[in-house]
Structure 1
Amino acid sequence: MKFLIPLLVAILSITLVVAAPAFPIQFAGDVIVNGKVAPDGLLVTAKIDGSDVEATTTKDGGYSMKIGDPYGNREGETVSFFVEGIDTGETAVWSYTAADGSDTTLQIVDLSVNGDICGDASCTSGESCSTCAVDCGSCSDGTSGSGSGGSGSGGGSSGGGGAYIPPVEDDGPCVPDWVCSDWLDCMSGTQKRVCVDSNKCGVETGRPAEQQTCEVPEELKTPKEDRYQGVTPPDERTEASTSEPAPAADNALTGAVIGGGTLSVIALLVLVALIAGGFFAWRVLKK
């Protein structure tokens, strides 16, 4: 029976190596826009080499997202963060282990941007009632100003003398302007993206599709990809700000059972078969 112990250790080690990389890394932090706490619903994107790899929306003044490594090529890559398409200048390194050896499955990266961003409670020069009603107010019907001068009543006296107020221009109802992240990683035959209405009209009219079927590009089909088959996609991005941190990467035994994909399952089945066969042989030889 002693010979089974080294065999058990060897097979289990292979299983753990396969399973461990399945955990995504979670990035989270506060978001400040024009010196104020960010409102809900702003688009936050993470890019690697200029391509979107994950997206979410702000909630309760912050963001949270999980970035995986489905093709086994992100270790050591730099992640850049954008809010409503504006570069925050903040970056992080996608890696399971920091330079000091500490665990990095949860990284805190606070973001801050300045610019014309609809929803920041400030009607700037680049916004209007038709492009950002939430900041500038709803467009009203065009009417003449209440303080305009006119002919006086009686005695030929001139009218009120108030300064002329131009009529408020009616630009019509708020029209949604949908802005979407790039299509994200192809996971289990499905791609997702996140779309927000930059005009914050509060309606769903014309909302683009945020999910489609996909196939992994041939240039990304490497042997490493097999390790990630069967990995559950990250949580819904709009709910990520309240999600718990991803499990630590060193929780390998759990990863072997739930995160290793096809090869992990096969290895475990082989392990069970070998143990059963070894036990049967031991019983026969013992007799």
Structure 2
Amino acid sequence: MMRLNKTGKSVLTGIAAVLLFTNIALAIPGMPHQFYGDVVINGNPSPDNILIDAKISNDVVSSAFTKDGKYGYEPIFYVLNPDGKRDGNLIEFYISNVKAGEYYFSSGASTRLDLSATIPNFCGDAICEAGESCSTCPGDCGQCSSSSSSSSSGGSGSSSSSGGSAPLATTTKTDDDETTTTTTGDNEQTNNQEEETKQTTCTENWKCSEWFDCFNSRQKRVCMDLNSCGTEENKPIISQECAMPLAEDDKKEKDNSGFLSSITGNFLNSVAGNASASGVGILILILILGIAGIIYAKKSAKISEEVVD
């Protein structure tokens, strides 16, 4: 049986320490908590594009927009767990800043949570309430009626008060005879409407949530075009760099730690800040140490056998 001397044991101990340190440095954050369900406002299914915020301690941690009276189906709605310490925290859900439900965070859970809220003067509940009008909320109060106007024929001195197109007489005179042709203005009106339709463009109207938690030095938010133009020319940014907040326990530990702890903490922050690059470097280091340990162990065993012989 092969036995290792003190040097070989030291090498293996170093490899084990590196593996343990790698596990700590590259710790995977806690699993998120998914939510979905129906949304009811003033007793009716919610209209589309209503903002829903999830808050923990009054901080927005996730947001979504309603669609077909629901939320969390498309896209998926979840609350992150960046530091792995959110289990048991109370999540409060708000619809247009009105509380609509609550639930306790649980890592990796998928929860159906139907939301309901009563919002005064809410545009979209099919009730034309005080403070709403056809111009501010046509969905509840109906479309505003357009004022009637009379149209006049240009240059002829005659006018028409009917809603349709009056026949127009066109006289063509030649040397031999005189021909009168009667036409209507329907074709001209249709052509004008087509031209107006072509010239009409959809104006993007973006509405965004607050910025979410800082995760892996980036934070996101969700944005929705309320006019559903299908274009993203003026879409606001939905992702930006951020500084990872330092937890209270980490602050106390940093204040009370010595020089060695400070160095270790800086190294851990460096690894966490660029996990992919650091992970590759650590894996290479482990591989090198492992190969060196195996080679050294084999050489030591060979030397021991030669000495015995």
TM-score w.r.t. length of structure 2: 0.53
Structure 1 partner of 2:71? 62
1:29 and 2:40 matched: no
1:229 and 2:257 matched: no
Higher mean C-alpha displacement, 221-230 vs 28-37: 221-230
Asked whether the 8 Å contact 1:45–1:56 carries over to 2, the reply is: yes
Structure 1 partner of 2:186? none
Distance 1:81 1:227 in 2: 34
Distance 2:106 2:271 in 1: 17
Aligned partner of 2:103 among 92, 99, 103: 92
Structure 2 partner of 1:277? 292
Matched residues, number: 219
Distance 1:267 1:105 in 2: 32
1:216 and 2:216 matched: no
Q: 1:189 to 1:9 in 2, by over 3 A?
A: closer
Query: How far has the Cα of 1:91 moved from its partner?
Result: 2.3
Q: 1:57 to 1:9 in 2, by over 3 A?
A: farther
Map residues 116-155 of structure 1 onto 2, 5 A cutoff: 116-142=121-147
Aligned partner of 2:53 among 45, 50, 55: 45
Q: 1:21 to 1:110 in 2, by over 3 A?
A: farther
Map residues 152-231 of structure 1 onto 2, 5 A cutoff: 179-187=207-215, 190-196=218-224, 200-202=226-228, 209-211=236-238, 213-216=240-243, 223=265, 228-230=272-274
Distance 2:148 2:232 in 1: 29
Determine what percentage of the aligned residue pairs are the same residue: 28
Gaps of 5+ in 1: 97-103, 145-174, 231-259
Q: Which residue identity is paired with 2:114? A: D
Q: 1:266 to 1:134 in 2, by over 3 A?
A: farther
Secondary structure, aligned partner of 2:36: strand
Q: 1:207 to 1:275 in 2, by over 3 A?
A: same
1:110 and 2:114 matched: yes
Deviations 1:106-128 (A, max 9, x none): 34433222224444555444433
Query: How far has the Cα of 1:275 moved from its partner?
Result: 1.6
Higher mean C-alpha displacement, 127-136 vs 22-31: 127-136
Query: How far has the Cα of 1:30 moved from its partner?
Result: 0.8
Larger proportion of helix = 2
Structure 2 partner of 1:238? none
Aligned partner of 2:92 among 68, 71, 80: 80
Asked whether the 8 Å contact 1:51–1:182 carries over to 2, the reply is: no
Q: 1:67 to 1:263 in 2, by over 3 A?
A: farther
Secondary structure, aligned partner of 2:144: coil
Q: Which residue identity is paired with 1:83? A: I
Secondary structure, aligned partner of 1:68: strand
Map residues 2-21 of structure 1 onto 2, 5 A cutoff: 11-21=18-28
Distance 1:123 1:20 in 2: 54
Deviations 1:225-275 (A, max 9, x none): 667535xxxxxxxxxxxxxxxxxxxxxxxxxxxxx6565444433322222
Q: 1:218 to 1:47 in 2, by over 3 A?
A: closer
Secondary structure, aligned partner of 1:59: coil
Higher mean C-alpha displacement, 200-209 vs 46-55: 200-209
TM-score w.r.t. length of structure 1: 0.57
Q: Which residue identity is paired with 1:52? A: V
Query: How far has the Cα of 1:87 moved from its partner?
Result: 1.0
Distance 2:39 2:245 in 1: 40
Distance 2:112 2:105 in 1: 12
Q: 1:76 to 1:277 in 2, by over 3 A?
A: farther
Gaps of 5+ in 2: 4-8, 150-202, 251-264, 303-309
Query: How far has the Cα of 1:279 moved from its partner?
Result: 1.8
Asked whether the 8 Å contact 2:30–2:85 carries over to 1, the reply is: no
Q: Which residue identity is paired with 1:140? A: S
Distance 1:280 1:261 in 2: 29
Q: 1:30 to 1:227 in 2, by over 3 A?
A: farther
